[in-house]
Structure 1
Amino acid sequence: MAIAMTVVLYVQTPDVEFDYLKGSALLTVIGFIAASLAYRVQRSSLGETSFIPYLSALVLYPSWTVVVLVGVGSAAAEIRRRKLGIKLVFNVAQFVLAAACASLIYVMLGGKPLAGEDASFNPLPHSTAVIAFLLVNTFAVAAAIGLADGKSIIKTWYEGNAAGFVYDIVLIPFVFGFARAYHDWGIWGAAPLLALVVGLRFTYQSKHQLETTNRELLELFVHTVEFRDPYTSGHSQRVSRYSRIIAKAVGRSSKEIARIEIAGMLHDVGKIHEIFAPILSKPGRLTPEERAIMELHPIKSAELVAKLSEFTDIIPSVRHHHENWDGTGYPDRLAGHDIPLGSRIIMFADTIDAMTTDRPYRKALTEVEVRAELQKYRGSQFDPHICDALLSSPEYHQIFVPADESRSSLSFTQIFERARRPKTPT
């Protein structure tokens, strides 16, 4: 697709204006620098700001030659990061495809090269070209993931990009501004863009490092709690992951999913309280008095979470994660929709983890056996609407896939291999 769109652009604008090409070449070099300064967002993914100078280069001179330069710059950055094979091809191709589509739309809507005599801002071609670049770039990744998971590409794109896309639209005047700065001041006009690219890189990196550090501190705290109970090692991490999957299956927004995921991580932190220590280490069955004490742990967990100002909104989800749909749960015997949605989701995740973990008195249940148990207690322990949505969703199977095989850790090679794999009938 990238090659085909570049050929179409060549047919539309075959001539090369070498005087125009100089500025675009400089901006693509800045794009390469930005790509080389990519910062780590997750263990398996990077973030970068190279699309800003690449877009400015295309606005300065919308030509097939600039698209080729964008491809060369992105390929050089991928090679510098030691990426080879299908991953390199995919990453370069998505940039080239987005650049070619943006340039073609820019030309077809009457946009003129800013490197020429007319350097005025033309809202329609400028804005549409930037939006087209961003859409094609993000849809390419959504298509790969959607094919791998057998899901709607549009839904996959929406879940991963809709929230941030509005903010990306703000780039429209900046893209034009940097292209115009080069037109008016030459190489000195490109200096602010280089400074912005470097500044954004370190700002975004610091932001993500802070978020990662906060997350890891939470995980460390949760691990400390779980050391008290020999049968719950990794329990909170699994409940957090299952909560995310279930929230996604019932169609919650990305923001809601993130908060429910955190609530799942922190749902049992109250067990660090000293009153639970002798009970957690007890090997036999609990007495009624001991069980009554253990039923205080959601309250203690909510009290601890309340000490973190960032998490005040998830306190109800933590406090009520043991409430049953029919009102027989604890600590407050809430029923039905009076139970916070996050708590109802964590109830599923918490119970599924208990069922799928080996215990001294039984082996872990299988995926089919868990389905039967959820259906059995639908409407009594579990929200029937969530139960139906979860069991009918393809996300349900993801609960039983080991965490290290989840999509977040797949390389593009694995994604395409999975996309080509024949689907097994359910």
Structure 2
Amino acid sequence: MSSEISNLTVLQNKSLLLLMTSRVANTLAFQMLTVAVGWQMYSLTQSAFYLGLVGLIQFLPMILLTLVVGHVADRWDRKLIIFSSQLVEAAAVLSLAFGCYHGWINKESILFIIFCIGAANSFQGPPMQALLPNVVEEEVFPRAAALVASTSQFAVIIGPGLGGILYALGPGVVYSLTGTLIFISSILILFISVRKEQVKTESKSLKTLFAGISFIKSRPVILGAISLDLFAVLFGGATALLPIYASKILNIGSFGLGILRSAPAVGALLMSAILARYPLKKNVGRTMFTAVIFFGLATVLFSLSTSYLLSILALFILGASDVISVVIRSTFVQMETPDTMRGRVSSVNMLFIGTSNQLGEFESGLTASWFGAVPAVLIGGIGTIVVAFLWMKLFPDLLHIDKLEFRKSS
């Protein structure tokens, strides 16, 4: 029956529409911010290492706060947590704009403010992931997850190009608009209606604090799914080096950088729209691993390309393949986790995602400072492919997952 439910029926849920709109505003802001920070940092330092350091600085708060934010997400109002986190994030971004307008911005101040943004984002991620299952019914959750991914990818497409264009007017313009969008996103969150969440009756203890880790360890398929994201994307972090490709290899400037950053999102948007229209019904495990392999192959192609159009094509394939594995992994983890545990499990999942993204950016920057940008991206793409085949051997149950279904309560 669920396969017969149309996208229109799902979108009749007003709270889902509000959630999607909030996600679009926040994602659009983040993509613009990423382009502006990357281009400004490279302009100030001319250093691949500092490009990678931006990713590391965003990742550090996630390490320090993961267990705390998961516990918070399972004990307090998730909407209020997201609202508060986004308010802090908006204030931090607007301080970047203030610094640009008054001439005191430098690499140290950028890194400090990025750390604050990373801390705020650490509190936002787990409750945001755990909120969707309380907004839509179980039977439409896979389709709703694909729709949310699709609308977010729309923002990912527009954001980098818009950020690149507005950067010509000055980074302060980009930061001002970014902070405003994040503030709007925070207000929209307050108007979302959720189904009554399961009552959290556990008392505070070290056991409940570490419950997310314990739960994941007890479910090898969940551990395999989130660790696949960790290691595959950790090695395949080509996007951190896009400012170098745009400036030194392809010679396309800040607007060209925005187009490069948008290319993966175009592929992801197209693929997520397909997944929303035609949800995966079987062989989801094999499909996920195939997508990760294509992600690695696209990374290899991009690393060796000196053609602007071929580079865009490679990034398009990279984004399309990545969204397949992301939708499968995120949907699977949420469906396998009871609501009382979703905050803590999501916090651990966000740590793995943050490790793969932000720490992957640092790894790419560090490797590029040693060997050069092209060898760094090439090594990363090959590493992603190796990880995919290794995980097939280590987690055979994950490979053989057939359907995405909610775990029955015991």
TM-score (norm 1): 0.29
Question: Which structure: larger Rg?
Answer: 1
Instruction: Work out which structure has the larger RCO, using CA pairs closer than 8 Å and 6 or more positions apart in sequence.
Output: 2
TM-score (norm 2): 0.29
